[in-house]
């Protein structure tokens, strides 16, 4: 499947190298957040990689909710429980990193799962700067360019049916609540087949360390991000 090369599975456990996590972020999600760089001091495996693995390992249900409760770093082994409607993804010490609730009809159609995985993670990977920068600018705030703190809190999807042949994702609406240096962003999207909505979803993020909007500083940050992306792409 699409994501097999981005993690290692053995004896009911999954683990990641920095290279696997970083390559997923850049090659699949088009996400160049420095926290996913191989040499990042505070390196973090992308939450969207965990989402993608759950779909690949357990299948796709019409209704699924994901709660991101811990930051996964390289070398941590996560235990994969037996299939159930409610799942908790923990390490050997019992620390929890992800919760999943799923219900309704299910499928293991690899084509549909790959389409949904690619559509969602590309949308999610483009949250910054494409969505967050203008959304926060409307509130006259921005993420701290020197230490961006954006916590992936939760996401959910609801599908009307599973006999879908082609799938695309389109943003529906955006909401943001600012409380001093903290903020909460909720993104709603539609899953579309041939122009018809066949499902809906949401993504929720928690922001901290917000500061007053500085147009030049934000433009410099976006230029730097685009330069890093260009340097990564094959010449």
Q: What is the pLDDT of residues 70-109, one digit of tens each?
A: 999 999 999 999 999 999 999 999 999 999 999 999 999 9
Q: Do the Cβ atoms of 63 and 104 come closer than 8 Å?
A: yes
What was the pLDDT predicted at 145? 82
- pLDDT of the residue at 231: 81
pTM (2 decimals)? 0.92
pLDDT in tens, 178-222: 999 999 999 999 999 999 999 999 999 999 999 999 999 999 988
What is the residue-wise DSSP string for the chain?
-TTGGGSEEETTEEE--HHHHHHIIIIIS----GGGSTT-TT----HHHHHHHHHHHH-EEEEEEEEE-S---TTPPEE-PPP-SEEEEEETT--EEEEEEEEEEEE--HHHHHHHHHHHHHHHHTIIIIIHHHHHHTTTEE--TTS-EEEEEEEEEEES-S--SS-EEEEEEEEEEEETTEEEEEEEEEEEETTEEEEEEEEEEEEES-EE--HHHHHHHHHHHHHHHHHHS--
| CATH number 3.30.1150 is the correct assignment for the domain at 4-232 | no
Least confident of 101-110, 121-130, 224-233: 224-233
Neighbours of 120 (CB within 10 A): 23
202, 182 Cβ separation under 8 angstroms: no
Q: Above 90 in pLDDT, residue 163?
A: yes
What mean pLDDT is predicted for residues 109-133?
A: 91
Side-chain-facing half-sphere of 115: CA atoms under 13 Å: 16
Mean pLDDT in the chain? 93
Mean pLDDT, residues 152-159: 96
What pLDDT, on a 0 to 100 scale, did the predictor assign at position 232? 79
pLDDT value of residue 1: 61
pLDDT of residue 235: 46
pLDDT bin (cut points 50, 70, 90) of residue 6 is very high
Token code pair at residue 217:
């500083």
């Amino acid at each position: 499947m699409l994501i097999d090369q981005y993690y290692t599975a053995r004896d009911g456990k999954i683990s990641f190298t920095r290279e696997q996590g970083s390559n997923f972020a850049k090659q699949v999600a088009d996400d160049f957040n420095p926290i996913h760089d191989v040499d990042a001091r505070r390196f973090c495996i992308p939450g969207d990689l965990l989402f993608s693995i759950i779909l690949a390992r357990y299948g796709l249900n019409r209704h699924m909710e994901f709660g991101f409760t811990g930051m996964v770093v390289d070398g941590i082994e996560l235990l994969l429980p037996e299939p159930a409607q409610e799942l908790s993804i923990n390490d050997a010490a019992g620390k929890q990193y992800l919760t999943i609730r799923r219900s309704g009809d299910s499928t293991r159609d690899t084509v549909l799962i790959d389409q949904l995985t690619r559509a969602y993670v590309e949308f999610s990977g483009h949250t910054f700067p494409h969505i967050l920068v203008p959304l926060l600018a409307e509130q006259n705030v921005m993420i701290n360019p020197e230490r961006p703190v954006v916590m992936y809190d939760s996401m959910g999807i609801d599908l009307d049916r599973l006999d879908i042949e082609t799938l695309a994702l389109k943003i529906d609406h955006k909401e943001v609540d600012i409380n001093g240096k903290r903020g909460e962003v909720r993104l709603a999207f539609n899953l579309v087949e041939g122009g018809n909505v066949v499902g809906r979803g949401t993504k929720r993020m928690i922001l901290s360390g917000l500061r007053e909007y500085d147009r030049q500083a934000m433009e410099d940050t976006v230029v730097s991000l685009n330069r890093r992306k260009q340097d990564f792409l094959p010449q």
